[in-house]
Amino acid sequence: MSQRSIAVVPRGVLVLFALGLAAQIGLKATAPPPRAAAEDLAPAPSIAALRLASFGDPVPLGKALMLYLQAFDYQSGSKVPYRDLDYGRLEGWLARILELDPRGQYPLLAASRLYAEVPVEAKQRSMLEFVYRQFLLDPNRRWPWLAHATAIAKHRLHDLTLALRYARAIERYAVADDVPLWARQMEIFILEDMNELETARLIIGGYLQSGRVKDPAELRFLDERLKELEARTAGKTPQKN
């Protein structure tokens, strides 16, 4: 259907439209940009309520909630963007998102690489424990985040006992073929730092004898690592004497 010419539109309507458009743009342009406030993070809803809200398709809701949560996390211009968050509530949200989308890695990436790196030790520890607990539910898929948590415990918290606990959990529970060598060896590295070289040597020996290692490159690597550790242990023994 052809339209009539613009000339038939009364001038008042055109002026009104132009003024309305300019005023709307002006109003929105001068309004302060929306910002998420850390204290505004509400407690996570129950998993039953979220499943109801997902209308039988929980994964998209989980993804959307992660983005929603991220909006609370990242506050532009703040040097410590996550420090002000209520970590109890934050854990609740992350746990709910993982329940909705168990194969999703985003919540654990955020937990281990973002929330666990705030300059508040108590919050770091609570987030590392969260990662550990979630790792235990699906070790073969979630080990990378616990591996990173191990590194944080070792290098940031300087808590070698904690790092060792995480490293042992990876070695013990992450048994899938695609778990790489370096992750399985984290326990050895941690023990090495604790001057427990002899223990590390025994663990590597046991690891090799267990028959779990099938990859020739991995076998060679471990063998070389074991020889290196033995040499260092032998080098240390005379010094002690």
Partner 1 sequence: MTIVASLARATLLEAVRNRLVWLAVVVVVIAFGLAQFLNQVAITESREIQTALLAAPLRVAAVFIVAVFVITSMVRESSDKVTELLLSLPAPRSAYFFGKFAGYAMLASILALLSALPLVPFANSQGLVFWTLSLICELLIVTAMSLFCVVSFAQVVPAFAAVAGFYLLSRSMAAMQIIASAPLQDPTLTDRVVNTVVNLIALLLPALDAMTQTTWLLQSAPSVSILGAVVGQTALYLVLICSAALFDLYRKNF
Residues that bind partner 1 in the complex, under the rule CB under 8 A: 1-6, 8-10, 13-14, 16-17, 19-21, 23-25, 27-29, 31, 33-36, 67-68, 70-71, 73-76, 114
User: What is the per-residue DSSP string for 4-59?
Assistant: PPGGGS-HHHHHHHHHHHHHHHHHHHHSPPP---GGG-PPPPPHHHHHHHTTT-HH
Residue number, 114 or 151, with CB nearest to partner 1: 114
Min dist CB 4 to partner 1, Å, is 5
User: CB atoms < 10 A from the CB of 161, how many?
Assistant: 9
The pair of structure tokens assigned to 216 is 């020739």
Min dist CB 141 to partner 1, Å, is 21
Min dist CB 146 to partner 1, Å, is 20
Residue number, 3 or 241, with CB nearest to partner 1: 3
Min dist CB 101 to partner 1, Å, is 18
The whole-angstrom separation of Cα 219 and Cα 208 is 7
Residue number, 22 or 234, with CB nearest to partner 1: 22
Min dist CB 74 to partner 1, Å, is 4
Q: What are the helix (H) ranges across the chain?
A: 11-30, 47-53, 58-73, 87-100, 106-109, 121-137, 139-155, 160-173, 181-184, 186-193, 197-209, 216-240
The whole-angstrom separation of Cα 16 and Cα 19 is 5
Min dist CB 53 to partner 1, Å, is 12
Residue number, 40 or 177, with CB nearest to partner 1: 40
- Angle 58-62-63 from CA coordinates, rounded to 5°: 125
Residue number, 36 or 160, with CB nearest to partner 1: 36
Residue number, 3 or 209, with CB nearest to partner 1: 3
| Distance spanning both ends of the chain, measured CA to CA | 101
